[in-house]
Structure 1
Amino acid sequence: VEDYRELVEGIPAILYIDRPDDLSTNFYTSPQAEALLGYTQEEWGSDQDLWLRIIHTDDVDAVRAENERCNVDGEPFHAEYRIIAADGRIVWIRDDALLVRDEQGEPRYWRGIMLDVSAEKEAEEKLRWSLDVLRRTIQQRRELAQKVETAQEEERRQIAADIHDDSIQVMSAVDLRLALLAERPETITTEALAEVRSTVRDSIERLRSLVFELRPAALDREGLVVAIDQYLSYAAKETGWSYEVIDELTREPDPELRVSLYRIVQEAVANARKHAGASRVSVRVMTAGDGVTVVVTDDGTGFDTGRVDTPEPGHLGLATMIERAELIGGWCRLSSAADAGTTVECWLPSDAAGG
């Protein structure tokens, strides 16, 4: 008997024997119940309502129903539920019991075992949370890919329209002008040739601007800061604002990271151009930890940050850039107030994927 007691009390679980009634009146509960739940053997034996009373309120109805069902049909009892321990802790229990019958087949008692499965439940919850995060991340990436594709298609459409409405029209006009001059050589004058050359130079300049908008050569040849400086210089010609670029990089970012940072600055500047009133724009680029931070500030009139979801044609927009930064492990903060300008601050990790 003593050996059996030592065996029972050495198992890392609560063993019990209950009557086959609605309260599961307790005959015996092993001493592990006190170590696990804080209730003594005496409490289990003297307080017949204890078991149902300490079950979590969200679980007690289902457990009671399972207990009543098993008492009626004699099927094995199985339930997973939460118990409120004596110290207030919530402990997940897996409870299994078998009905023992006498020689006449009449129910004698339930013999059961309670296991602490709190760690298992915590792991399951973490797994569910991770899967939920993964599902949401996949959905966000799909939505982002759709936005990028839409923006790229709009950009292609805009490029085609610009080339057709500008460069092709200009070249057609030049071709017509040259044809007329060829038909009437006597009309070829210095002024006429100068007019044609001026038209061609203007068209070349507009094509250069278009190529610059797509991807400046300086981004690959001279680095991020030079490319940003050139872009601000280009934007300043249209807006008339002054600008500065503050270089606090300790090393040049990798090509993919360079592109992502440049696009963020490009969208922030496009946003400043869209919401008029700025006379000065500042861009600060700095190495920060295992990544790079860019801060774009303007002194404009500010705007409603809820409107960042309406990008200009051919642009991803700040909202999408913020999403992309977060998806590759970075972050973006946007602040703006009436007559207080706008600040866009983004950090991207060095191992971020470009795009």
Structure 2
Amino acid sequence: MSLFWRIFLLNAVVLMVATMLLLGPVTVSSPVLPAEAAVVVAGLVAMLVANAVLLRVGLAPLRRLTRAMAAADLLRPGSRPAATGHGEITELITTFNTMLDRLESEQAAGSARVLSGQEAERQRIAQELHDEVGQTLTAVLLQLKHVSELAPGPLREELHQVRETTRGSLEEIRRIARRLRPGVLEELGLHSALRALTAEFTSPALAVGLRLDPGLPALDEQTELVLYRVAQEGLTNTARHAGAGRVDLRLERTAGGARLTVRDDGKGLGAAPEGAGIRGMRERALLVSARLTLGPGPGGGTEVRLDVPVREEDR
């Protein structure tokens, strides 16, 4: 029975009972006596209360669906509202759940294409920086060295300063290229790549700790890349925004797969909205059906946790 007919029949029953009472034991005279007016008012109140209760019970599934629709976020896959109720209410909730499944699947597929193109573009830029800009600056360094050997004393000192500036620029370009394309991840694996990453972020102002638990499950290339990029973004956010003195990175085995944790002692997230970096981490997590959690750490600061499921055959 449809929602319309259920509400209509419930209201019809209430009105029929009221009519039978007026035609039977309850009568209204002219002029209306106080006792009769009290009975009519009481009947009206009873009708309104009955209608309110019946409508609240009948429309409760719709309120749950409204809350679920307001809380739905494709970057945070969550539970679905239970398909309870009758008739088109159940059908509406089931349709909404099916729509969410389809949208999340399309979101994951679209994110995969975008991130795949992004990685390809990063690899191309890193290659050009290494081959073109890097080689050009190397040639400039050699020329400066040759010129400084022939230059007089005062000019030689200035050329030496130019050489050091150029050398610093070359090192910065190489560092950017390594961030764009984690070659050590492809060549030596995830553990070596995370060690190189923590060494890169370690500085006098920021101590970076690393713990890699033994016996991790086998991970495919895409999962390793997602873990590396999330660790890289977490350390980058800590270095730029957290004002932290220490950050700890840990990769460990769990009952369901693997967990990456980046925890700092900085000022925390506060009420700041999520930026492009965090949204990028959420999109990457969806690629491997992982769960990304951000929040305050046990001792303050910020904790980024990525739980990656692993298939039974890969454990």
Report percent identity of matched pairs.
Answer: 21
TM-score by length of 2: 0.56
Structure of higher CA gyration radius: 1
Distance 1:158 1:220 in 2: 17
Aligned residue among 164, 169, 176 for 1:210: 176
Query: What is the TM-score of this pair, normalised by structure 1?
Result: 0.50
The AA in structure 1 aligned to 2:224 is: R
Question: Secondary structure of 1:308's partner?
Answer: coil
Q: Please tell me whether residue 350 in structure 1 is matched to residue 310 in structure 2.
A: yes
CA distance 1:249–1:55, change in 2 (3 Å)? farther
1:134 aligned partner, one-letter code = D
Deviation at 1:271, TM superposition (A): 1.0
Pick aligned residue for 2:195 from 207, 229, 232: 229
Distance 1:178 1:245, change over 3 A: closer
What is the deviation of 1:268? 0.7
Match of 1:302 among 268, 292, 314: 268
Letter in 2 for 1:244: G
Is 1:264 equivalent to 2:230 in the alignment? yes
RMSD: 4.9
Unaligned runs of 5+ in 2: 12-56, 59-84
Could you tell me which residue of structure 1 aligns to residue 284 of structure 2?
Answer: 324
CA contact (8 A) 2:265 2:301 kept: yes
Q: Which residue does 1:246 correspond to in 2?
A: 211
Which structure's relative contact order is higher, taking Cα pairs within 8 Å and 6+ residues apart? 2
Q: What is the SS of the residue equivalent to 2:260?
A: strand
Distance in 1 separating the partners of 2:95 and 2:9: 20
The structure with the largest helix share of the pair is 2
Query: What amino acid sits opposite 2:282 in the alignment?
Result: I
Distance 1:256 1:151 in 2: 14
Q: 5 Å matches for 1:74-153?
A: 128-141=95-108, 144=111, 148=115
3-state DSSP class of the match of 1:56?
Answer: helix
Distance 1:168 1:324, change over 3 A: same
CA gap of 1:287–1:162, structure 2 versus 1, over 3 A, is same
Q: Distance in 2 between matches of 1:288 and 1:298?
A: 21
Q: CA deviation at 1:291?
A: 1.7
**AA of the residue aligned to 1:132:** M
Check whether the contact 2:216–2:252 (CA below 8 A) recurs between aligned residues.
no
Displacement after TM superposition at 1:217 (Å): 3.6
| Aligned match of 2:77 | none
Shift of 1:216: 3.2
Change (3 A) 1:122 1:248: farther
Shift of 1:297: 0.2
Deviates more, 1:129-138 or 1:199-208: 199-208
Q: 1:228 to 1:147 in 2, by over 3 A?
A: same
Change (3 A) 1:227 1:179: closer
Structure 2 residue aligned with 1:289: 255
SS at match of 2:273: helix
Look up the match of 1:31. Answer: none
Q: Which amino acid aligns with 1:57?
A: I
Match of residue 56 from structure 1 = 6
Q: CA deviation at 1:171?
A: 4.3
Change (3 A) 1:162 1:303: farther
After superposition, the Cα gap between the structure-2 partners of 1:276 and 1:330, relative to the gap in structure 1 and judged at 3 Å, is closer
Decide whether aligned partners of structure 1 residues 158 and 261 sit closer, same or farther in structure 2, where only a CA change above 3 A counts. same
For residue 307 of structure 1, give the secondary structure of its aligned residue in structure 2: coil
Counterpart check, 1:170 vs 2:114 = no
The 2-side partners of 1:319 and 1:198 are apart by 39
Match of 1:97 in 2: none
In 1, Cα distance between the equivalents of 2:129 and 2:271?
A: 30
Offset at residue 153 of structure 1 (A): 9.1
Post-superposition offset of 1:304: 3.3
Q: What is the aligned residue count?
A: 235
Q: What letter corresponds to residue 133 of structure 1 in structure 2?
A: L
Q: Which residue of structure 2 aligns with residue 335 of structure 1?
A: 295
